[in-house]
Amino acid sequence: MLVNSIQSFSPPRRILMGPGPSDVHPRVLAAMARPTVGHLDPSFVAMMDELKALLQYAFQTANPLTLPVSGPGSAGMETCFANLVEPGDKVVVCVNGVFGGRMKENVERCGGIAIVVEDAWGTPVDTAKVAAALAANPGVKAVAFVHAETSTGVESDAAALCALAREHGAYSIVDVVTSLGGVPVRVDAWGADAVYGGSQKCLSCTPGLAPVTFSPRAAAAVAARKTKVQSWFLDLNLVMGYWGGAAKRAYHHTAPINALYALHESLLMLREEGLEAAWERHARHHRALVAGLEAMGLGMLVAPAHRLPQLNAVRVPDGVDEAAVRNRLLERYGIELGAGLGALAGKVWRIGLMGQSCSATNLTLCLSALETVLAEMTAPIREGAALPAAAAELYGR
Amino acid sequence: MLVNSIQSFSPPRRILMGPGPSDVHPRVLAAMARPTVGHLDPSFVAMMDELKALLQYAFQTANPLTLPVSGPGSAGMETCFANLVEPGDKVVVCVNGVFGGRMKENVERCGGIAIVVEDAWGTPVDTAKVAAALAANPGVKAVAFVHAETSTGVESDAAALCALAREHGAYSIVDVVTSLGGVPVRVDAWGADAVYGGSQKCLSCTPGLAPVTFSPRAAAAVAARKTKVQSWFLDLNLVMGYWGGAAKRAYHHTAPINALYALHESLLMLREEGLEAAWERHARHHRALVAGLEAMGLGMLVAPAHRLPQLNAVRVPDGVDEAAVRNRLLERYGIELGAGLGALAGKVWRIGLMGQSCSATNLTLCLSALETVLAEMTAPIREGAALPAAAAELYGR
């Protein structure tokens, strides 16, 4: 590629209704564009304290070890595993989708032994199976599970799984990347030990940061490790010299200043709305989305009791080219839906109602556009589908 | 902290003349605030190709494996070590400042054996000592060194060190965090193998991204590893599924979309100026800065032949409280200088002339403000120092 032909990049305006990133509010984008200051600037250090308090609110925790990791959700995941798991440690890993599988990879790459408890994709983690695995394997160091599986849209019972881990003297490692801000995440009430989220889902910040929180007993375990954390970059014993709140912050790495401005603003918007109100908003629009989808004759992957409001896996009807539908939605309406991952590739769409994307406006547009496109692609156009027929006329097939 | 009292954060306007971040141009901040799109959006994927080409230009390389790691410079460092170093591998690590010491930590945390070649802080890596270490230790896998030591402002001879590594059948791992865009970095001409930079120094982008490039032979070594890379997040065998340029990009992690907009714009500005012109600008303002500092009676840490134009370690005069000087510069003028690190704490200031911060405007302001503050703090005010005396009158001591 000739670099001389490259010009400034102007992204198209999209409506982000996939598995994340979600729509970012102009307030957050404006915050991100404020002038960069140094990572040891007194004004910035004061902002870091606020950011920590806002994260504690979002996680519903008083854990002092609460901070945004300077990387995406995967770096947050690795922070939890690399800090808590030492070579030879046994970890029960619950796998019911893509991200549980990634946890297993993390355990093994830390030199740990993964004891996998599998459940079918689209179903929650089976607490009884986890209990059996713990009973059969004495000395398990941690139980790891995904609260909200982004690949399927399933919620698992975090409170029960954390309690089970504690009963067996194990730490819990919990992925709340997709749940944080969208459904109740109650780190202290659950007694969760190492928890990581992502900035770009229900917090509606730009992607690239991973909030994490460690319980005091998990933090003590990290401080008392026999071996060094295998990642220098993610070693919380070092990171806390900067984020720990000491009067003098020690340089570890240069914080992603402007990204942190954005996270501060997005968390502030969550606090202004209130967590309970945000959870209620996600639940309400989810009910409307499902009603609309079912009225179109579409089915959901997940049973009602286990559905995440913010991530809706919708079965692709037989004979429909799922990618062609997504492409037309993107090209004509600017709407991004998610494809299925892994075993669900080609079989589901993933419709995100996350954070700012979870609004009556987005929902109504999405349903209407999807109905139109599906009608166009399945000849003949169904009787009585006035809007799709008219729209198809207008746009041409 | 009560979260209810938190408001939007408005950073002060600073003039960033420390060791990074450097001043970010409004064009780059504006790019960062453009609407977020999905990480698999066709428009974004096309932008990624441009970004790779611009990085190849900045690195002066044709390496296909060239991409921005989704984390700060430390994550770029860890990408190079975690991908190239396997347990038991011997690595010669050149330590002549803070960042060489960090390389040693990386080698050891990857299970490698670090053979340390030490040089005094403020001097370059001694090529003869490295040759001796290679001769004394057959089978060394890699030679790691910092091209531009941010802690001291010293440039080492990257071409000679890369050649030496190659002669001994070893890979070279090169830190160009502070050099990239400020002085010649010629990855292909050097024959360098694994090279990492940072976004927030002479590229004048916001902090949080680490450009890396791997030579074809280094990329082949990563692909042929006997063991898995210990970091899932930084495993280039997986990351390349997304960044590799295949027709179909495979999801690995969610890219930091808006940060990448910013890097694209900052690299575009570098291309518009031209690399040679940028290098010449850094050299010119450096000469002016040194002349001004010497006229004030201040001395430089590093011998002229090894000075980095973009990072100037200036000796703190006896009896001067270095932190008080920096604080006054920050509070009154908004100028940020860097403190000494490690062995140099309290002994030097680090004055950065990086990227957008490297201008006649910044330089002139910095010299004048520093002279004023130093004069105020060393009683009696020197004869003939009209500006400082007048300013001291104006501002009060």
CATH code at B34?
Answer: 3.40.640.10
Structural domain tally of chain A?
A: 2
Which amino acid belongs to residue B350? R
Residue A5 is assigned to a structural domain of this protein: no
Pairing of strands A171-175, B210-214: unpaired
Q: Is the pLDDT of residue B271 over 50?
A: yes
Q: Is the pLDDT of residue B392 over 70?
A: no
For residue B103, list chain A residues with Cβ-Cβ distance below 8 A: none
Rounded to whole angstroms, the Cα distance separating A60 from B300 reads: 51
Task: Single out the residue in A271, A287, A311 at which a domain terminates.
Answer: A271
More confident residue, B329 or B387: B329
CB contact under 8 A, A47 and B9: yes
Cβ of residue A109 closer than 8 Å to a chain B Cβ: yes
Residue B4 is assigned to a structural domain of this protein: no
CB contact under 8 A, A336 and B41: yes
E strand segments, B297-395: 311-315, 335-339, 348-352
Cβ of residue A71 closer than 8 Å to a chain B Cβ: yes
Q: Which residue of A has its CA nearest to B111?
A: A230
Together in a domain, A305 and A380: yes
Cβ of residue B220 closer than 8 Å to a chain A Cβ: no
Together in a domain, A245 and A353: no
Tally the C-alpha atoms within 13 A of residue A271's C-alpha that lie toward its C-beta: 24
CA distance A301 to chain B (A): 22
Q: Is the pLDDT of residue B393 over 60?
A: no
Give the length of chain A.
397
Look at residue A395 in the predicted model and tell me its pLDDT. Answer: 54
Mean per-residue pLDDT for B244-250? 78
Together in a domain, B310 and B250: no
Q: Is the pLDDT of residue A127 over 80?
A: yes
Burial A378-393 (b: 16+ CB within 10 A, else e): eeebeeebeebbebbe
Residue A342 is assigned to a structural domain of this protein: yes
Together in a domain, B256 and B353: no
Cβ of residue B350 closer than 8 Å to a chain A Cβ: no
CA distance B384 to chain A (A): 34
For residue B274, list chain A residues with Cβ-Cβ distance below 8 A: none
Together in a domain, B35 and B174: yes
Give the length of chain B.
397
Together in a domain, B297 and B218: no
Together in a domain, A205 and A352: no
Look at residue B395 in the predicted model and tell me its pLDDT. Answer: 54
Q: Which domain holds residue B114?
A: 26-271
Mean per-residue pLDDT for A279-293? 98
| Pick from A35, A229, A341: CB nearest B13 | A35
Look at residue B244 in the predicted model and tell me its pLDDT. Answer: 85
Look-up: residue for tokens 């004030």?
A: B296
For residue B32, list chain A residues with Cβ-Cβ distance below 8 A: 32-33, 258
Structure tokens at A239: 């990171």
Which amino acid belongs to residue B257? I
Phi (first) and psi of residue A88, to 5 degrees: 90, -10
Together in a domain, B128 and B230: yes
Q: How many CB atoms lie within 10 A of CB B13?
A: 9
Residue A17 is assigned to a structural domain of this protein: no
pLDDT in tens, B322-361: 999 999 999 999 999 999 999 899 999 999 999 999 999 9
E strand segments, chain A: 15-17, 65-69, 90-95, 113-118, 142-146, 148-149, 154-155, 171-175, 194-196, 210-214, 311-315, 335-339, 348-352
Look at residue B1 in the predicted model and tell me its pLDDT. Answer: 76
Alpha-carbon dihedral sign for residues B156, B160, B166, B170: negative
Residue B17 is assigned to a structural domain of this protein: no
Cβ of residue B247 closer than 8 Å to a chain A Cβ: no
Together in a domain, B261 and B314: no
pLDDT in tens, A183-206: 999 999 999 999 999 999 999 999
Rounded to whole angstroms, the Cα distance separating B153 from B303 reads: 10
Q: Is the pLDDT of residue A71 over 70?
A: yes
- Range from B24-33, B88-97, B208-217, B373-382 carrying the lowest mean pLDDT: B373-382
CB contact under 8 A, B29 and A33: yes
pLDDT in tens, A317-369: 999 999 999 999 999 999 999 999 998 999 999 999 999 999 999 999 999 99
Structure tokens at A84: 């808590």
Residue B85 is assigned to a structural domain of this protein: yes
Task: Single out the residue in A271, A295, A319 at which a domain terminates.
Answer: A271
The CATH number that applies at residue B326 is 3.90.1150.10
Q: What is the DSSP letter of A115?
A: E
Mean per-residue pLDDT for A241-261? 89
Rounded to whole angstroms, the Cα distance separating B305 from B196 reads: 24
Task: Single out the residue in A271, A290, A322 at which a domain terminates.
Answer: A271
Rounded to whole angstroms, the Cα distance separating A138 from A160 reads: 19
- Reported pTM: 0.96
Look at residue A393 in the predicted model and tell me its pLDDT. Answer: 55
Q: How many CB atoms lie within 10 A of CB B361?
A: 9
Residues 6+ apart with CB under 8 A from A135: none
Residue B10 is assigned to a structural domain of this protein: no
Structure tokens at A267: 């968390």
Look at residue A381 in the predicted model and tell me its pLDDT. Answer: 46
Look at residue B380 in the predicted model and tell me its pLDDT. Answer: 52
Together in a domain, A262 and A288: no
Q: Is the pLDDT of residue A212 over 60?
A: yes
Together in a domain, A374 and A338: yes
Interface test with A, best of B233, B349, B357 (most A CBs within 10 A): B233
Residue B15 is assigned to a structural domain of this protein: no
User: Is the distance from CB of B185 to CB of B147 less than 8 angstroms?
Assistant: yes
In the β-sheet with B171-175, what is the strand arrangement from edge to edge? B65-69, B210-214, B194-196, B171-175, B142-146, B90-95, B113-118
pLDDT in tens, B60-85: 999 999 999 999 999 999 999 999 99
Q: What is the DSSP letter of B143?
A: E
Together in a domain, B227 and B282: no
CB contact under 8 A, A11 and B37: yes
